[in-house]
């Protein structure tokens, strides 16, 4: 048995917990420590929990640090800082800012002689791989990405901020008729409204004006105005019983035409009962790939586009060829 790959986790929210659970499912990975900005005794991890300032002492004890902070608030600062000291994996997901973030991480990681994988997960991540794979094979094609059914944190927060709203969750749901059209091979231009619908479950404050809340949601620019939105008012009990899970998923579908005029279709579909646990599982597999690529001498920033798929697996190339090809 080879020595396990030593993993560190920075930030212990839903994603950090998901990474810990994933590491425990993989015998070739070992959780060395969790680092947090909260008081360590408030963190219920099976690993040792330390204040984030202690992480520098672990430079020789951790092979890959998985950064589980938020893309908006934590990673812009944490990412480059840790990339200068450790091999890292993160799930940076602000699509528009990825090129700029990549450059900053690349400089920091190269300076430290480390390898840093950014924007890992399922979108960006697996869905990005599917978009590139399908488009590379079917250059005369059209690709659609559908998200859901799943919770959108940004939209949920926007609803919760409205006056009279005590608690709320927003589900993004692909429009079933549209998916059916796309799967049949149609390649229409789609408006936002045709592609996704939005469903809100709202617990109102007692005495709140429900009609006003519903109107405020449905007309909210940027978030809801361009979609068909349905609002359900429910009790706190219903909310607690049915709407605290974190399901998500979606589809990437490419329909293309090859030279003889034949229609070819490829689809990647994910149906996730728990989004952060699945994302954590992707990050754990990516940590394995980063460890291997670094051992080959690669440094700087990279994305899942740069990973040979076999590097994500605990199996050797020989095993993969014999059993999985």
**Residues contributing to the site for a second copy (CB under 8 A):** 18, 20-22, 24-26, 95, 98-99, 102, 119, 124, 126, 128-129, 131-133, 135-140, 258-260, 262-274, 277-278, 280-282, 285, 288, 303-310, 312-315, 317-318, 320-322, 324-325
- 27 or 51: whose CB is closer to a second copy? 27
Exposure string for 16-49, b = 16+ CB within 10 A, e = fewer: bbbbbbbbeebeebbbbbbbbeeebeebebebeb
Q: Which is nearer to a second copy, 85 or 315 (CB)?
A: 315
CB of 162 to a second copy, least distance (A): 30
User: Residue 106 or 214: which CB sits closer to a second copy?
Assistant: 106
* Closest of 86, 87, 93 to residue 69, by C-alpha: 93
| Cis peptide leading into residue 202 (ω within 30°) | no
DSSP state at residue 243: S
In the complex, the smallest distance separating the C-beta of residue 292 from a second copy, rounded to whole angstroms, is: 12
> CB of residue 9 vs a second copy: minimum separation in angstroms?
13
Q: How far is the CB of 14 from a second copy (least distance, A)?
A: 10
Q: C-alpha angle 108/63/126, rounded to 5°?
A: 75
Q: In the complex, what is the shortest distance from the CB of residue 173 to a second copy, in angstroms, rounded to a whole number? A: 17
Query: Residue 303, by phi and psi: left (phi above 0), alpha (psi -120 to 50) or beta?
Result: beta
Q: By C-beta, is 20 or 63 nearer to a second copy?
A: 20
Distance CA 41, CA 78 (A): 22
Smaller CB separation from a second copy, 133 or 220: 133
CB closer to a second copy, 159 vs 284: 284
CB of 18 to a second copy, least distance (A): 7
């Amino acid at each position: 048995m080879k020595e396990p790959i030593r993993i560190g986790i920075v930030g212990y929210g839903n994603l950090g917990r998901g990474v810990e659970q994933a590491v425990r499912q993989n015998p070739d990975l070992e959780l060395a420590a969790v680092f947090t900005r909260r008081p360590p005794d408030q963190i219920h991890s099976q690993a040792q929990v330390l204040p984030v300032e202690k992480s520098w002492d672990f430079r020789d004890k951790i092979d890959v640090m998985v950064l589980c902070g938020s893309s908006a608030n934590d990673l812009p600062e944490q990412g480059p800082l840790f990339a200068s000291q450790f091999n890292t994996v993160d799930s940076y997901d602000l699509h528009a800012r990825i090129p700029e973030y990549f450059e900053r991480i690349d400089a920091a990681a190269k300076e430290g002689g480390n390898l840093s994988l950014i924007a890992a997960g399922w979108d960006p991540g697996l869905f990005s791989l599917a978009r590139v794979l399908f488009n590379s094979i079917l250059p005369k094609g059209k690709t659609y990405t559908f998200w859901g059914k799943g919770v959108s944190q940004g939209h949920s927060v926007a609803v919760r901020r409205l006056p009279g709203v005590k608690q709320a969750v927003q589900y993004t749901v692909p429009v079933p008729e549209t998916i059916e059209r796309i799967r049949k091979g149609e390649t229409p231009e789609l408006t936002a409204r045709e592609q996704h619908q939005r469903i809100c479950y709202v617990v109102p404050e007692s005495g709140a004006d429900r009609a006003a809340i519903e109107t405020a949601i449905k007309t909210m620019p940027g978030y809801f105005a361009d979609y068909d939105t349905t609002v359900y008012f429910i009790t706190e009990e219903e909310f607690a019983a049915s709407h605290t899970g974190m399901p998500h998923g979606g589809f990437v579908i490419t329909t293309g035409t090859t030279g003889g005029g034949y229609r070819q279709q490829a689809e990647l579909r994910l149906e996730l009962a728990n989004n952060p646990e699945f994302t954590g599982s992707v990050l754990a597999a990516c940590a394995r790939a980063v460890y291997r690529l670094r051992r080959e001498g690669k440094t700087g920033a990279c994305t899942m586009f740069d990973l040979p798929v076999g590097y994500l697996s605990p199996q050797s190339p020989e095993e993969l060829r014999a059993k999985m090809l």
